C-alpha cells in the first residue's frame, strides 16, 4: 500500500536523538532553545516558543492574547477540530464561518459577516499547505481592533506575497505531528515578533511560573522535550528539500491527472503551496462516488484520505451552537475532497501508477 502520509526520517534524526539520550538532558533545555531560535529565523519572526503540540500552541497563544469567557473567535468550519477546540479551551466561543470554494480556506467576506461586538480574534488556517487570503482578513482585524492568529499547522514554509507564513498575524501556530511537513514526534511552535507576548506564552506553557516556584497565573505543562527538539532541528534543515519534493509530486499530478469529474487543486496567485495534502475534488461527473473512488484506490494498494468528512460546524460537540446550514461550501467540500499520497517518500513511479489508475476510472 502506498501510504497517504508518512514521516520522512533518516539516520540524522536517529543520531540527534541518541546524542540527547547520552546527554541525560531529556526534558526542555538547550536543544529546545536552539530549535526555537532556528525556527523563528526560518519564519522570519523575532521569537519562537516551542510547545508539545499544535493544539497547545493555539491554546497558549489565545490565552496570552487575552481570549476568554464572553469572547467570540471566528474560525473556518473546514479545518481540523483543534482550530476551534483551542478557542473552547479558553472558555471563549468559536464562531464557524465558510471557506472559499476554490482553495477551501477562510472566506474574508464570511469573516466580515460574522463580526459581532463580542468578536475578539480571527484564526485563519493555511489549509493543506496553502496560505489563506491574509490581506483582506488582516484589513478587517486592523479596522476592528481584532487579534489575528495564523494556524500554520499544515503550512511550514508556505509563502504569501513572498513572505513566509507565521509572521503576518499577532502569532503563528505550528504543529510538528508526524504527518506534517516536518515533525518533532509530537510538538508545536508559536512564532511572533512581540517579546512581551513571547514571555507571557513561556509562562503559560510552564505552570504560570514567573520565577522559580513563583506562580503568578494559571499555567500548564505544554513544554517540548530536548528529544523532540533534536528531531525538529534536523527536520527543519531538510524542510525546504522535503517541501520541494511535495511540490514536484503535486505539479506532476496536476499535469497528468485527467479524469472525468476529478479536479486537481488550485493555487492562490501570489502564494506558494507546500502541499501538506494534495486534495482532489471529486464531483458528480466522476463515474465513481468519492467514497467509491477511495475504495477503488485501496483495492489498487493506493492509500487516500478524506480531510475532512465532517466540517466543524456539524460536529456533535458544537451542535448546541445551532450552526445548521451556515457553511454550505464547507458541507460540499466535505463530500467531495480526497487526499492522495504527496509526501516526500512518494517517488515518480508511484505518481505514475496513481495517475494511471485515476485516469482509467470508468
Ligand X SMILES: Cc1ncc(COP(=O)(O)O)c(C=O)c1O
User: Does residue 321 sit in helix, strand or coil?
Assistant: helix
Would you count residue 154 as binding ligand X (CB under 6 A)? yes
Q: Is residue 251 helix, strand or coil? A: helix
Q: Which CB, 243 or 259, lies closer to ligand X?
A: 243
CB of 64 to ligand X, least distance (A): 17
192 vs 43: CA distance, rounded Å? 9
**Distance in Å, CB of 88 to ligand X, minimum:** 13
The smaller minimum CB distance to ligand X, of residues 2 and 189, is found at 189
55 binds ligand X (CB under 6 A): yes
For the CB of residue 343, give the shortest distance to ligand X in the complex, in Å: 15
Least Å distance between CB 287 and ligand X?
A: 31
Q: Check residue 83 for interaction with ligand X (CB under 6 A).
A: yes
Q: Which is nearer to ligand X, 8 or 177 (CB)?
A: 177
Cβ closer to ligand X: 261 or 341? 341
Number of residues forming the site for ligand X (CB under 6 A): 14
Q: How far apart are CA 115 and CA 284, in angstroms?
A: 35
**Judged by CB under 6 A, does residue 79 bind ligand X?**
yes
- Decide if residue 175 touches ligand X (CB under 6 A): yes
d(CA 280, CA 266): 10
**By the rule CB under 6 A, 53 interacts with ligand X:** yes
- Under the binding rule (CB under 6 A), the answer on residue 151 touching ligand X is yes
Nine-digit cell string for 325: 446550514
Choice between 205 and 286, CB closer to ligand X: 205
Query: Does 150 help bind ligand X (rule: CB under 6 A)?
Result: no
* Residue 103 near ligand X by CB under 6 A: no
CB of 352 to ligand X, least distance (A): 29
Pure H helices in the chain: 11-23, 30-43, 54-64, 82-89, 108-114, 134-144, 195-204, 226-256, 290-299, 328-336, 348-359
Q: For the chain, percent helix, then strand, then coil, each to nearest 5?
A: 40, 20, 40
Residue 316 CB, nearest approach to ligand X (Å)? 19
Phi, psi of 279 (to 5 degrees): -115, 120
Task: Decide: is 153 part of the binding site for ligand X (CB under 6 A).
Answer: yes
Q: CA 283, 289, 291 angle in degrees (round to 5)?
A: 115
CA atoms within 13 A on the CB side of 217: 15
DSSP at 151: E
**Residue 109: strand, helix, or coil:** helix
β-bridge pairing 159-160 and 271-272? antiparallel
Give Cα 343 distance to the centre of its chain. Answer: 15
- With binding defined as CB under 6 A, does residue 183 bind ligand X? no
> Per-residue contact track with ligand X, 111 to 140, x per CB under 6 A?
--------------x---------------
| Residue 277 engages ligand X in binding (rule: CB under 6 A) | no
**Least distance in angstroms from the C-beta of 52 to ligand X:** 8
**Contact between 48 and 224 (Cβ < 8 Å):** no
Query: Judged by CB, which is closer to ligand X: 75, or 280?
Result: 75
CB of 276 to ligand X, least distance (A): 8
Query: How many C-beta atoms surround the C-beta of residue 337 within 10 A?
Result: 22
With respect to ligand X, which residue has the nearer C-beta, 259 or 339?
339
What single-letter DSSP state applies at residue 206?
Answer: B
188 binds ligand X (CB under 6 A): yes
Q: Are 114 and 88 in contact (CB under 8 A)?
A: no
Binding span for ligand X by CB under 6 A among 13-21, 79-87, 135-143, 318-326: 79-87
CB neighbours of residue 248 within 10 Å: 16
Out of 39, 80, 168, 308, point to the residue binding ligand X (CB under 6 A). Answer: 80
Least Å distance between CB 93 and ligand X?
18
Residues that bind ligand X (CB under 6 A): 53-55, 79-80, 82-83, 125, 151, 153-154, 175, 177, 188
Amino acid at each position: 500500500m502506498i501510504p497517504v502520509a508518512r514521516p520522512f526520517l533518516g539516520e540524522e534524526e536517529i543520531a540527534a536523538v541518541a546524542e540527547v539520550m547520552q546527554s541525560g538532558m531529556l526534558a526542555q533545555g538547550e536543544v529546545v532553545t536552539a530549535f526555537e531560535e532556528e525556527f523563528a529565523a526560518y519564519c522570519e519572526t523575532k521569537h519562537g516558543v516551542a510547545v508539545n503540540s499544535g493544539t497547545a500552541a493555539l491554546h497558549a497563544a489565545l490565552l496570552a492574547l487575552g481570549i476568554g469567557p464572553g469572547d467570540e473567535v471566528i474560525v473556518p468550519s473546514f479545518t481540523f477540530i483543534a482550530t476551534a477546540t483551542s478557542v473552547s479551551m479558553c472558555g471563549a466561543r468559536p464562531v464557524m464561518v465558510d471557506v472559499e470554494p476554490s482553495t477551501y480556506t477562510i472566506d474574508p467576506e464570511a469573516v466580515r459577516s460574522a463580526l459581532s461586538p463580542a468578536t475578539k480574534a480571527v484564526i485563519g488556517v493555511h489549509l493543506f499547505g496553502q496560505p489563506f487570503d491574509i490581506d483582506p482578513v488582516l484589513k478587517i482585524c486592523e479596522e476592528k481592533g481584532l487579534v489575528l492568529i495564523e494556524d500554520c499547522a499544515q503550512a511550514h514554509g508556505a509563502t504569501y506575497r513572498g513572505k513566509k507564513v507565521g509572521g503576518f498575524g499577532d502569532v503563528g501556530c505550528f504543529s510538528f505531528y508526524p504527518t506534517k511537513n516536518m515533525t518533532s514526534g509530537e510538538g508545536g511552535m508559536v512564532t511572533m515578533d512581540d517579546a512581551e507576548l513571547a514571555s507571557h506564552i513561556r509562562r503559560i506553557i510552564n505552570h504560570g511560573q514567573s520565577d522559580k516556584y513563583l506562580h503568578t497565573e494559571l499555567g500548564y505543562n505544554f513544554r517540548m522535550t530536548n528529544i523532540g527538539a533534536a528531531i525538529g532541528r534536523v527536520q527543519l534543515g531538510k524542510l525546504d528539500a522535503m517541501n520541494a519534493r511535495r511540490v514536484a509530486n503535486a505539479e506532476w499530478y496536476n499535469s497528468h491527472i485527467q479524469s472525468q469529474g476529478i479536479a486537481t487543486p488550485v493555487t492562490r496567485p501570489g502564494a506558494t503551496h507546500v502541499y501538506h495534502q494534495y486534495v482532489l475534488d471529486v464531483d458528480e461527473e466522476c463515474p465513481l462516488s468519492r467514497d467509491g473512488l477511495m475504495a477503488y484506490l485501496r483495492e489498487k494498494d493506493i492509500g487516500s484520505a478524506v480531510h475532512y468528512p465532517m466540517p466543524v460546524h456539524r460536529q456533535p460537540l458544537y451542535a448546541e451552537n445551532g450552526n445548521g446550514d451556515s457553511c454550505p461550501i464547507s458541507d460540499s467540500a466535505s463530500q467531495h475532497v480526497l487526499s492522495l499520497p504527496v509526501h516526500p517518500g512518494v517517488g515518480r513511479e508511484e505518481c505514475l501508477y496513481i495517475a494511471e489508475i485515476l485516469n482509467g476510472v470508468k
